[in-house]
C-alpha cells in the first residue's frame, strides 16, 4: 500500500493517497518521492523489489525507481505504464543494506498510480496445481423470517473479501524438495500474523493468468497419502486483502456495463 504520510517529496512533486493507492505527479530526473525503509533490510535476505503501478489517464509513461543502499544505489525503470496495472520485479544488488526507495524521472507529465513497493525474498511458483483455481466472492444476503409469511425478507449487508483456492501436489522441483515445500507454505501461513511498519498484516502478492491480488493465507491444508514419499497433496486458501472498500477487481482494462 502507498500511504503518502510515509514519503518525503522533492520540489514540485505531489503524492496523495486514499490509504491504499498513491497518485504521484511532478517528478523530474532529480526530484521525486522517497521513503526511508525501516529496519536493516539486507539484500541477501530480501534480494528482490516488486512495484505495482499504472498510468492514471492511460498516457504511456516510464518511471524510475531509485533504490539507495547504505553504500551505493541501483536505478530501475518501469516502462510503458498505461491503463492496466503492471507488477515489476527488480533484482537488488547483493550484500547491501536497503536505505530508501525513491520514485523519480517520469517520462511525461501527468499522474502515475502506485499500488505498492515491496522488498521480498523470492517468487514461489507453486508446484503441480492440478485443479482449477477457484475464486469465491460471497455476498452477505441475510434472510429475515416473518411469522406466517411464506418466504422471508432479504437484506443486503455487503460482501466478504474474495477467497482464492489453489490445490495440487507438493513435488520436488528445481527450487525445493516436496518436504521443503510443506514447511515453506506452513511458514508463510505463520508469517501472515507479523504486523508490518504500516500497521497491516504481512500479505503476499498472488498472480495467476486471470487473478492478481494482495492476499493473506487463511487455510493451509497439506495431506500425506499413506505409502507415498516426497509427493504430498495440498490446498491453499487465500483471502484477498483490501485496505479500502473493494471495487471492480479488473486487471484487463476498462469494462462498460
Kindly report, residue by residue over 28-44, the tens digit of the pLDDT: 999 999 999 988 899 99
Q: What pLDDT sits at residue 228?
A: 87
Task: Give dist(CA 164, CA 136) in Å, integer.
Answer: 6
DSSP state of 93: P
Q: At CB < 8 A and 24+ separation, what contacts does 26-30 make? A: 26/109, 27/63, 27/103, 27/104, 27/105, 27/106, 28/104, 28/105, 29/104, 29/105, 30/104
pLDDT at 200: 86
The share of the chain scoring above pLDDT 90, in percent, equals 82
Confidence of residue 248 (pLDDT cuts 50, 70, 90): low
Amino acid 1: pLDDT: 60
**Cα-Cα end-to-end distance for the chain:** 28
Residues 6+ apart with CB under 8 A from 72: 93, 96
| pLDDT for res 19 | 86
Question: What is the structure's pLDDT at 77?
Answer: 98
| 3 state DSSP class of 161 | coil
Q: What is the pTM of this model?
A: 0.88
Task: Please determine, for residue 63, whether its predicted confidence score (pLDDT) is greater than 60.
Answer: yes
- Placement of cell 499413506 in the chain: 226
pLDDT, averaged across the chain: 92
Comparing 173-187, 194-208, 212-226, 242-256, the range with the smallest average pLDDT is: 242-256
User: Out of 75-79, 178-182, 209-213, which region has the weakest mean confidence (pLDDT)?
Assistant: 209-213
Residue 154 has pLDDT above 90, yes or no: yes
Q: 99-113, 152-166, 201-215, 237-251: which range is least confident on average?
A: 237-251
Query: Based on the number of CB atoms within 10 Å of its own CB, is 244 exposed (0-12), middle (13-18) or buried (19 or more)?
Result: exposed
pLDDT at 161 over 50: yes
Phi-psi region of 227 (alpha: psi -120 to 50; beta: other; left: phi over 0): left
In the chain, what are the domains? 4-120 (2.60.120.260), 134-240 (2.40.30)
DSSP, collapsed to helix, strand or coil, labels residue 5 as helix
What confidence score (pLDDT) does residue 252 get?
45
Amino acid at each position: 500500500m502507498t500511504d503518502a504520510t510515509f514519503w518525503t517529496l522533492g520540489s514540485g512533486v505531489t503524492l496523495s493517497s486514499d490509504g491504499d493507492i498513491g497518485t504521484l505527479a511532478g517528478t523530474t530526473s532529480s526530484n521525486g518521492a522517497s521513503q526511508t525503509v525501516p529496519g536493516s533490510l539486507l539484500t541477501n535476505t530480501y534480494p528482490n523489489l516488486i512495484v505495482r503501478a499504472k498510468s492514471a489517464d492511460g498516457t504511456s509513461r516510464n518511471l524510475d525507481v531509485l533504490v539507495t543502499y547504505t553504500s551505493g544505489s541501483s536505478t530501475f525503470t518501469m516502462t510503458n505504464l498505461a491503463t492496466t496495472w503492471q507488477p515489476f520485479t527488480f533484482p537488488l544488488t547483493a550484500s547491501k543494506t536497503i536505505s530508501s526507495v525513491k520514485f523519480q524521472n517520469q517520462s511525461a507529465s501527468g499522474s502515475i498510480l502506485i499500488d505498492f513497493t515491496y522488498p521480498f525474498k523470492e517468487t514461489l511458483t507453486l508446484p503441480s496445481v492440478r485443479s482449477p483455481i477457484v475464486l469465491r466472492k460471497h455476498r452477505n444476503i441475510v434472510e429475515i423470517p416473518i411469522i406466517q409469511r411464506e418466504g422471508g425478507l432479504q437484506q443486503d449487508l455487503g460482501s466478504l473479501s474474495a477467497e482464492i483456492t489453489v490445490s495440487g501436489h507438493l513435488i520436488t522441483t528445481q527450487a525445493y524438495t516436496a518436504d521443503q515445500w510443506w514447511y515453506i507454505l506452513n511458514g508463510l501461513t505463520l508469517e501472515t500474523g507479523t504486523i508490518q511498519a504500516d500497521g497491516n498484516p504481512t500479505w503476499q502478492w498472488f498472480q495467476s493468468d486471470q487473478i492478481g491480488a494482495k492476499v493473506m493465507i487463511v487455510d493451509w491444508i497439506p495431506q500425506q497419502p499413506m505409502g507415498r514419499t516426497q509427493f504430498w497433496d495440498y490446498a491453499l486458501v487465500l483471502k484477498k486483502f483490501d485496505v479500502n472498500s473493494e471495487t471492480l477487481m479488473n486487471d484487463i482494462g476498462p469494462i462498460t456495463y
